[in-house]
Chain A
Amino acid sequence: MTHHLRADVVIVGGGIVGGSAALFLRQAGASVILMERDRPGSRASGVNYGGVRRQGRPPEHLPLAQRAHALWANLRSLIGEDGEYVRSGHLKLARSAADMASLEAYAARVENFGLGLQLLDTADLRRLYPMIGDSAIGGSLCPEDGHANPRLVSPAFSRAAAAAGATILDRAPVSDIRITPEGFHVTSAQAEITASAPVLINCAGAWAGELAAGIGDPLPISVIHPLMAVTEPLPPFLTVSIGVEGGGVYGRQVERGNFVFGGGRGFAHPKADARSATTPPDFARPERQAALRLLAQGTGLFPALQGCTIIRSWSGVEAETPDHAPIIGPSRIHPGLFHACGFSGAGFQIGPAVGAVLADLVTTGRSVTPIDAFRPDRFSSPA
Chain B
Amino acid sequence: MTAAATTSLRPVIVGAGPAGVRAAVTLAAAGLNPVLVDEAARPGGQIYRQPPAGLTRPPEALYGFEAAKARAIHTALAPYAGQIDHYTETLVWNIEHGALDLMNRDASGQPVSTVLPYDSLILATGATDRILPLPGWTRPGVYTLGGAQIALKAQGCGIGKRVVFAGTGPLLYLIAYQYAKAGATVAAVLDTAPFVNRIHALPGLLACPDTLLKGLYYTAWLSLHDVPLHSGVTLREISGPDGTVAALHWRDAKGRDRETACDGIGLGYGLRSETQLADLAGCRFAFNDLHRVWLPERDDAGRTSVAGVYVAGDGAGIAGADAAEAAGERAALALLQDRGLPVDPTRVTALDRRLARFRRFSSALWTAFPVPAGWAHDLPDSMTLCRCEEITVGTLRQTVRTDTPTELNRLKALSRIGMGRCQGRMCGVAAAEVLAHETGRPVSAIARLRPQPPIKPLPAATLPAPVSGEDTP
Interface residues of chain A, those whose CB is within 8 Å of chain B, are: 39, 42, 46-47, 151-152, 155, 159, 231-232, 256, 267, 270-271, 283, 285-289, 291-292, 295-296, 298-299, 305-314
Contact = CB atoms under 8 A, between A and B. Distances in A.
B27 to A, nearest CB: 26
A277 to B, nearest CB: 19
A46 B410 CA distance: 10
B113 A292 contact: yes
Given A311-B421, A312-B419, A305 B460 contact: yes
A302 B115 CA distance: 26
B135 interface: no
Interface string B69-83: 000000000000000
Nearest to B402: A159
Contact of A309 (B403, B405, B459): B459
Given A159-B402, A288-B115, A310 B413 contact: no
Most chain B beta carbons < 10 A, residue from A256, A291, A298:
A291
Contact of B463 (A151, A159, A231, A292): A292
Given A312-B423, A313-B452, A288 B101 contact: yes
B420 interface: yes
A307 B115 contact: no
Interface string B101-136: 100000000000101000000000000000000000
Contacts of B402: 159
A287 B94 CA distance: 10
B460 A285 contact: no
A94 B437 CA distance: 52
A287 B95 CA distance: 10
A310 B410 contact: no
Contacts of B463: 292, 295-296
Given A288-B115, A292-B463, A310-B458, A155 B452 contact: no
Given A312-B419, A312-B423, A232 B457 contact: yes
B194 interface: no
Given A151-B414, A314-B452, A309 B458 contact: yes
Contact of A295 (B403, B405, B421, B462): B462
Contacts of A310: 454, 457-460
5 contacts: A232-B421, A288-B94, A296-B463, A309-B460, A310-B454
Nearest to B113: A292
Contacts of A271: 97
Describe A's contact surface by its main secondary structure.
mixed
Contact of A311 (B414, B423, B461): B423
Given A309-B457, A312-B423, 12 more contacts: A39-B403, A159-B403, A231-B460, A267-B97, A288-B113, A291-B94, A295-B463, A306-B461, A309-B459, A310-B457, A311-B419, A311-B420
Contacts of B461: 295, 299, 305-307
Contacts of B96: 267, 285, 287-288
A231 B458 CA distance: 9
B380 interface: no
Contacts, number: 86
Contacts of A299: 460-461
B462 to A, nearest CB: 6
Nearest to B464: A292
A310 B113 CA distance: 14
Interface of B: 94, 96-97, 101, 113, 115, 282, 389, 402-403, 405, 410, 413-414, 419-421, 423, 450, 452-454, 457-464
B236 to A, nearest CB: 31
A285 B452 contact: yes
Contacts of B115: 288
B408 to A, nearest CB: 12
B420 to A, nearest CB: 7
A311 B453 CA distance: 8
Nearest to B415: A151
Given A288-B96, A292-B463, A42 B413 contact: yes
Contacts of A287: 96
Contact of A308 (B101, B282, B420, B460): B460
Contacts of A270: 282
Nearest to A158: B403
A42 B453 contact: no
The 9 residue pairs across chains A and B that have the minimum distance between CB atoms? A309-B457, A305-B460, A151-B413, A310-B458, A292-B464, A312-B452, A314-B452, A306-B461, A311-B457
A231 B457 CA distance: 9
Contacts of A159: 402-403
A298 B460 contact: yes
Contacts of A39: 403, 405, 410
A273 B113 CA distance: 30
A111 B402 CA distance: 43
Nearest to A150: B413
B442 to A, nearest CB: 18
Contacts of B462: 292, 295
Given A285-B96, A296-B463, A311-B420, A46 B458 contact: no
A78 B280 CA distance: 39
Contacts of B101: 288
B419 to A, nearest CB: 7
Nearest to B280: A285
Contacts of B423: 311-312
Most chain B beta carbons < 10 A, residue from A159, A231, A232, A311:
A311
Contacts of A292: 113, 462-464
Contacts of B460: 231, 295, 298-299, 305-310
A314 B419 CA distance: 11
A270 B68 CA distance: 45
A382 B419 CA distance: 50
A232 B389 CA distance: 10
A110 B82 CA distance: 67
B282 to A, nearest CB: 7
Contact of B454 (A155, A298, A312): A312
B89 to A, nearest CB: 16
Given A306-B461, A311-B457, A152 B403 contact: no
Contacts of B403: 39, 155, 159
